[in-house]
Amino acid sequence: MRALALCLGLGVAALGTPAYAADQIIDLSEIPGISVEALHELAEYALVRRRYTIEENTPTLIVAEQDRLRVEVLIEPPRMTIRWKEGFGHDRDVWLRGIKTDILWRLAE
């Protein structure tokens, strides 16, 4: 009986996982005074390095596309959010982590 309750509980938890679970969030609150321009340049660098085609490019939002999958980078200093434009995860969520890694490595240089 306990095993059934546990399985049922895990199933409900899995179904209740939000669609934005794959979002990659970079919180740079430890770096005082980081500007929108600096974050924007970091995001552009990472997207170009990963060979994304930039479709929209505003100071606080970048939308890029690769293999018909669109990614958006929302810049709200000191925070940056990288997510799928469609609003749901894909089997290629590792791509979002790759963009985040490129941004952090460039920031460390």
- 3-17, 19-33, 74-88: lowest mean pLDDT where? 3-17
Q: Which is more confidently placed, 82 or 109? A: 82
Read off the pLDDT of residues 52-93 as tens digits, 9 standing for 90 and up: 999 999 999 999 999 888 999 999 989 999 999 886 666 778
Domain total of the chain: 1
Residue 37: inside a domain: yes
By residue range, what is the domain housing residue 37? 19-108
In CATH, what number is assigned to the domain containing residue 75?
Answer: 3.30.530.50
pLDDT value of position 17: 41
How far is the C-alpha of 65 from the C-alpha of 85, rounded, in Å?
Answer: 9
Residue 23: inside a domain: yes
Write the secondary structure of the chain as one string of H (helix), E (strand) and C (coil). CHHHHHHHHHHHHHHCCCCCCCCEEEECCCCCCCCHHHHHHHHHHHHHHCCCEEEEEECCEEEEEECCEEEEEEEECCEEEEEECCCCCCCCCHHHHHHHHHHHHHHHC
Residue 36: inside a domain: yes
Confidence of residue 14 (pLDDT cuts 50, 70, 90): very low
pLDDT value of position 9: 46
